[in-house]
Structure formats: structure tokens, C-alpha cells
Amino acid sequence: MPTLHLYDSTDEAFHDVIFTDRASIYTCGVTPYDSSHLGHIATFIYFDIVRRLLISQGVNVSLVRNITDLDDPLFERVRDSEEPLETLVARNIEQLDKDLDLLNCLPPTHEPYSSEYVDDMIAAITKLLENGHAYTVDGWTYFDTSSRASFPEFEAIKKMGEQSIEELGAQRGANPDDSRMKSRLDFVLWKPSADDEPSFDAPFGVGRPGWHIECSVMAMKLLGNTIDIHGGGDDLIFPHHACEVAQSESLSHEPFVRHFMHVAPVAYEGTKMSKSLGNLVYADEIIQEIGARCTRMMILAHHYREGYEHHDTDAGLAQERCARWTKVMATFEGDAAPGVVYQEVLELLRNDLDTPGSLKVLDTAISAFSFDDIDAEQKRADIQAAKELLGL
């Protein structure tokens, strides 16, 4: 049966993840208040590799990549820019889809918008209230973490003290000082809308959903109660994914995720990229500078768990690698035919997505290639098959 050996962020250990003929993947998408940067596209490229791997082994993969169009950062940008919400969302999603298409990422099976699933979110919150997992105060509805053992699934969280958990949550959108909450670890399921924000009628108050319930509902609606692989950037482990697990399993009483996969952050010249520091490297800019194939190759030169630290010199190195490969493969017009190189790359990728090692295998094959070899076309067909596995 198709098997991938992957590191699981839940228990911080490696596991053989076994699949049947079908697999479900949910990767947290973007809040489209700005153009996407290298961190976004790196995450989507790594998940694209997982998808290609499974497809190559005969697995029918359903991949969901959501659009969070109901969230605080988006509304803050609308206030600052005075650009209509619908225009801002449409413009940035159009750019993201264009970038990912150029980068040869397979299109998602579903690309749901949070705003399309509000009725389902209201139904889910109503069920949590009825089952004693939630409570409402002054129009705000919270998940009651005392109704379950908080966040026991994540080894990293168990190692942290409560104060550290609260501080981390506060950095990532939570408000442990909210006096309406029973516990400082409780989290928002529903909140009143500001006058300039979208607003929906619900039995527990007029307002809009919290961030975490959005992904839980979209994932369960489109992929079922249990997802095979779920993930995104590792800054989502807490609070987002931990809260997702808590509320989803309280709804279904089934495991929410079989395997969690998280991608380390992207830094720029040694510093994590962030809007506040003004050091974002936008995806469309780097694609225009060096081309989409070289951009994908540049990202895959880094392992997904080690993070991608972008230096200005990386672009040139990626272009040099592209040029070497192009000299050998530019005139190839045959069909891809897996051989020794393909099998080496396949095994490296199946072993926790070793993309840097895979590129080195192809570098060796490219360097050793000679058009004078009697089996030159067979070797190029093998290289082509390995390139396609990497989306290159």
C-alpha cells in the first residue's frame, strides 16, 4: 500500500503514513489582505510535492486550500486602504492563483471561501453549545477548554507552561485577558461584528465566526470528519491547529487528523519575513525576476522542516542550476520513463520529503549525462520522470 515516512508535528516523531487508494489533504490557505510572499508559496509547493507523490503511487487525492475572507487582518487592511473588501480579496486571490499556476502547483480540488460556509459554522457552534463545549457571554461565544483536556495532542504544547502558552497565543491573535472567558485558554467561536464588518444572524448573536471554527467546518464539510494530512506553516500549530482539533473532535467524537505536517518559516537574510519589518519577498516579484521554474527550484533546495532562509544570492544560484539542467533537457520531446534516477528521487521524497537530496541526485545525473551515450534518450526520459515528480 502507498506509504510515506513523515515527521508528525503532533508527537514530534516520524511515522509511516499508510494510504489506501484515496487521500485527503487540507492546507491552510491565506487571508488575502496582501500579495503572497515566499513563505506562502513555499508551503503550497511542499504540499504540492506530497500530492504528486501520492498521485504517482495511484492515490486519488482531494486537496483543499481555503481562503480566509472573514478575519481581522483583512478588515484592518480595508480600513487602512479604503479599498472595498470584495475588490481586495479578488485581486489578491487572482494574483495567488496566477503565481501558483506559474509555479506548476496542481490546482486544489476545492478552494472554499470562509464566507460561503457561515451557515455551517453557525450549525457547528450551536452543536458545541448544546453539548456543553461552548458558552456565550455578551454576544461572544467561546470554546470551553475545560470541557476536554485542553490541547493534549501536541507534544510541543504539553512542554510549555501555561504562561508561555498564553503569551504565544496572544502573539498569534488570541486574547487571554478577555474577562468574558472562563479560562485564559478558551478561544472565540463567534464575535459581534464591528459596524464596517460583514455580519450574520445566529441564535447566539449577530456577528461573525472566529478564525479557528472556519477551517474546522470547511475541512469537515469537504473532506469528512478525519483528514489524512493537515498542515500549513508551523506558526499555525498553536493556537490555530490545536484549537481546530479541540473543537472538531468535540463535534464528531472522531480523530480530526491522521497526520500533521508543518512547514518552517521563511526568513530573509537571517530575519523572519514580516510585514512589520518591511522585509517581505513577494512571490510575483521573485517569479518575474528569475522565472517560475527557477523559483520553485530555489525553494525545493531547502527542506520543508528546516525552513527557507532567503538570501539575495539564492536567485542567481537557482538560475545557474536551471541553466545546467536546460542544456541537457531543453530539446527532449519524448515521454517520461521512470528509471534509476526516478527511483532514487522517489525514495528520497517518500522519506520525509527530502527535496534538497532529490535535486542533488538530479544534479549528478545532469552532470554525468552525455549526448554521445547510446542510451542518452532513455536517460533523459528517466530524468524527465524525476523532474515531473518534483513539479519541475
- Residue 277 is predicted with a pLDDT of 63
- Taking the CA atoms of residue 78, residue 83, residue 87 and residue 91 in that order, the dihedral angle to the nearest 10 degrees is -90
- Taking the CA atoms of residue 273, residue 25, residue 51 and residue 304 in that order, the dihedral angle to the nearest 10 degrees is 30
DSSP state of 106: P
CA dist 277 and 91 (Å) reads: 24
250 grid coordinates: 468535540
Residue 340, CB-side half-sphere exposure with 13 Å CA sphere: 5
240 grid coordinates: 490555530
- Residue 273 is predicted with a pLDDT of 64
- Residue 268 is predicted with a pLDDT of 73
Beginning with the edge strand found earlier in the chain, give each strand of the sheet holding 271-272 in spatial order. 271-272, 266-268, 308-310
- Residue 294 is predicted with a pLDDT of 96
- Residue 141 is predicted with a pLDDT of 97
The residues of the chain scoring below 50 in pLDDT are none
Helix, strand, coil shares, percent, the chain, to 5: 50, 20, 35
- Residue 175 is predicted with a pLDDT of 84
Q: Closest Cα to residue 370, out of 361, 362, 379? A: 379
- Residue 284 is predicted with a pLDDT of 94
